[in-house]
A and B are shown apart, each in its own frame.
Chain A
């Protein structure tokens, strides 16, 4: 356990990113189920939000390293 606590931090970051993107995916699917004609816009918005969260996740991973 000398200097490896940062790896636990990296794991927490990945959990956070996974949860965030999972929630976005879930709400996107609910929205598409409600209004199938808006699928294109919802998909676009979902991918944008997912990429932003992934950006933070990766940035944190690199900071941890």
Chain B
């Protein structure tokens, strides 16, 4: 036929009629392939998320837990650690003293006087020359069963305590000396702390302990107030030194409070605990063990309060910062940044508040311990 205008629709119709022959795959096959692709993508995304979660756990752990070497910065790509190593002091039938650089950030076995030690999750285990850790399953969790030497190392926390102690010495000794130089008026950086010292004396020590006996306890109260305050503030820096969020440190402070109340207590204090006046004998017998337990529980609550506040605060702050990296887009990350900023302002308030609460409750317990006998009016 001639290729006239009228026959073009005819050719197009034939072409369209033969089009379905191009479909080779059956409809069922395409669904199967699509499903596989989707599950593989999901698994990749899940693995990526799990990896991110692990990395975040590691970073949070590094910030919040104590460590044997001071690691400031880590370059993942080049595997370089910036920081400095601290001395390791072990007691294992003899003193072992070496630098934590021998561990190479938990990768190599350190040898000292014939014994081999390996660092795993910031714990030192005694191993053989190859550094093998014997793991066993305890309640479904992997547990290392190697022997552990007594660890007296200078860790991050110990170093921070020493640094803060030196800082406090410097600050307050210079403040005290400046009074002699300037005829009763302080000068220098210590000026900021003079009203705070007066506040601790006038609002915490005297109301709780009384005019007669407060001077004995003032040094301890002042020390503990500034010690806890400075350590809390240090913990908020990105250096990753979390000292008061470590239950051993708060336990030590609470034990000192307990020892002071026990050893400076007057007879009245023990009378009030074991044989309280004005109570029928049967009740006295019931209340005495409860009161005795109370003397232990009060410092225990001091320890838990400080530890939990600071530790939980750090975890929440770090998790919110990590949220910034999980979101990875403009809206989510900026929201979590603002939230973590607000929470860190609250943490600064909590740092001061927890120091104040610890000091005030200690003063309360000291006041109860050193109370004079003034029930004479009640005993007609």
* B206 interfacial by beta-carbon distance below 8 Å: no
* B59 interfacial by beta-carbon distance below 8 Å: no
User: Do residues A58 and B354 form an inter-chain contact, with CB atoms below 8 A?
Assistant: no
Q: How far is the CB of A4 from chain B (nearest CB, A)?
A: 16
Within 8 A of A (CB), among B326-380: 353-354, 356-357, 360
Cα–Cα, bound, A58→B354 (Å): 13
* A36 interfacial by beta-carbon distance below 8 Å: no
A-side residues, CB < 8 A to B, are 44, 47-48, 51-52, 54-56, 58-59, 61-62
Cα–Cα, bound, A44→B352 (Å): 13
Cα–Cα, bound, A51→B203 (Å): 17
Q: Which residues of chain A come closer than 8 Å to B360, judged between CB atoms?
A: 48
B-side residues, CB < 8 A to A, are 203, 301, 304-305, 308-309, 312, 353-354, 356-357, 360
Chain A contact residues, majority secondary structure: helix
Cα–Cα, bound, A18→B305 (Å): 16
User: Do residues A51 and B312 form an inter-chain contact, with CB atoms below 8 A?
Assistant: no
Contact status of A59 and B304, CB under 8 A, knowing A47-B353, A51-B353, A51-B354: yes
Q: Which residues of chain A come closer than 8 Å to B304, judged between CB atoms?
A: 55, 58-59, 62
The list of the 4 closest CB pairs from A to B, nearest first, reads A58-B308, A55-B305, A51-B357, A59-B304
Q: Which residues of chain B come closer than 8 Å to A59, judged between CB atoms?
A: 301, 304-305, 308
User: Do residues B353 and A55 form an inter-chain contact, with CB atoms below 8 A?
Assistant: no
Residue in chain A with minimal CB distance to B302: A55
Cα–Cα, bound, A51→B308 (Å): 12
Q: How far is the CB of B118 from chain A (nearest CB, A)?
A: 29
7 contacts between A and B (CB under 8 A): A51-B354, A54-B309, A55-B301, A55-B308, A58-B304, A58-B305, A58-B308
Residue in chain B with minimal CB distance to A41: B203
Q: Which residues of chain B come closer than 8 Å to A51, judged between CB atoms?
A: 305, 353-354, 357
Known: A44-B203, A47-B353, A55-B308. 12 other contacts (CB 8 A): A47-B356, A47-B357, A48-B357, A52-B305, A52-B357, A54-B305, A54-B309, A55-B357, A58-B304, A58-B308, A59-B304, A59-B308
Q: Which residues of chain B come closer than 8 Å to A47, judged between CB atoms?
A: 353, 356-357
Residue in chain A with minimal CB distance to B358: A51
Q: How far is the CB of B225 from chain A (nearest CB, A)?
A: 14
Residue in chain A with minimal CB distance to B204: A44
Residue in chain A with minimal CB distance to B352: A47
